Amino acid sequence: MEAVIVVEQLSKVYEMGEVRVEALRGIDVRVAVGDFVAIMGASGSGKSTFLNILGCLDRPSSGRYWLDGLDVSQMSSDHLAVARNKKLGFVFQSFHLLARTSAVENVELPLLYSGVPRRARRARALAALHATGLAARAEHYPSQLSGGQQQRVAIARALVNAPALLLADEPTGNLDSQTSVEIMGILQRLNTGQGITIVMVTHEADIAQYATRILVFQDGQLVDDRPVDDRRLAPDMEARHGQNPLG
Ligand code: ADP
Ligand code: MG
């Protein structure tokens, strides 16, 4: 199976004066195209550090990382920024939308950085909002949207560059349980319908059940890697089963 992520002996040490924290200690893992991975583990186990390295937001102290076949552990900062914009989409717990900017303009931002012309930007941003069920709110500002709607905007923004990999750090951490299930439905639809590979950090066991594979971190080490049995399907996934996910 083709791999989107190959990580070998990845380590991260934070040094602050006298204090030395080994946040990651020799992680080896492969993530195949089309996987939907949930990363679990106690607070402080290294989940966010690992996701930030996968997302090229941080560099490992040692070890290798190939993203979509590219050895990003050896790249310069400039090349890394380009790889990040082209290959990755991010979703965060607190949405990270620009406040004085409409939903559709927020979604357009990554296209602005990659130099897509204005009309094409708008068309692609609207299509991405459509895919997350928020086309009707395109002109709304974040303050006019619920948390779940803001997260849909953030997912649309993460998708607009057609990334190889979608990374999400506690994407449902600020949402109620009903809205969390809706967001998991969107991620499942993107995964099965469009074949987007997803790596998601969560500390909620019931949210991890929507993934296909669970990695468990403990004290900076990967201590378990298992398929999800009894996978949960979000209700709209069951209803839409067999239909065009963008339809
Ligand atoms: P998790 O996301 O699983 O809660 P983190 O990856 O955030 O864990 O943190 C792993 C360890 O690394 C923790 O001990 C944390 O305190 C430490 N750590 C994380 N980021 C930094 C940083 N920027 N500087 C120093 N220590 C850090
Ligand atoms: Mg974290």
For atom 27 of ligand 1, the residue with the nearest CA is: 14
Work out the mean pLDDT of the chain and round it to a whole number.
92
What band does 1 get if pLDDT is binned at 50, 70 and 90? low
Cβ(246)–Cβ(193) below 8 Å: yes
C-alpha span between 61 and 50 (Å, rounded) = 12
Centre a 10 Å sphere on the Cβ of residue 134 and count the other Cβ atoms it contains: 25
Tell me which residue of 37, 160, 150 sits closest to 89, measured CA to CA.
Answer: 160
Taking CA 232 as the corner, what is the angle to CA 162 and CA 27, rounded to the nearest 5 degrees? 60
Dihedrals phi, psi of 51, to nearest 5 degrees: -65, -40
Backbone angles phi, psi at 210, to 5 degrees: -80, -15
Give the model confidence (pLDDT) of 29-67 as tens digits: 999 999 999 999 999 999 999 999 999 989 999 999 999
Pocket of ligand 1 (CB under 6 A): 14, 16, 21, 23, 41, 43-49
146 C-alpha vs ligand 2 centroid, how far in Å?
A: 23
Average of per-residue pLDDT across 112-125: 93
pLDDT-based confidence at residue 28 (cuts at 50, 70, 90): very high
Nearest CA, atom 12, ligand 1: 23
pLDDT at position 245 is 42
Listed residues: CB within 5 A of ion ligand 2: 47-48
Instruction: Work out the average pLDDT over 128-135.
Output: 94
Tell me the pLDDT tens digit for each residue of 201-217. 999 999 999 999 999 99
Place of tokens 């074949």: 195
Structure tokens at 197: 């590979």
pLDDT of 90 > 80? The answer is yes
- pLDDT of 130 above 70: yes
How far apart CA 67 and CA 80 sit, in angstroms, is: 11
Q: Which residue has the tokens 């195209």?
A: 33
**Which ligand does the CA of 215 lie closest to?**
1
DSSP 193-211: HH--EEEEE-S-HHHHTTS
pLDDT digits (tens, 9 = 90+) for 168-211: 999 999 999 999 999 999 999 999 998 999 999 999 999 999 99
What's the gap in Å between 40 CA and the centre of ligand 1? Answer: 14
- Residues 224, 227, 31: CA angle, nearest 5 degrees: 80
Q: Percent of the chain, pLDDT > 70?
A: 95
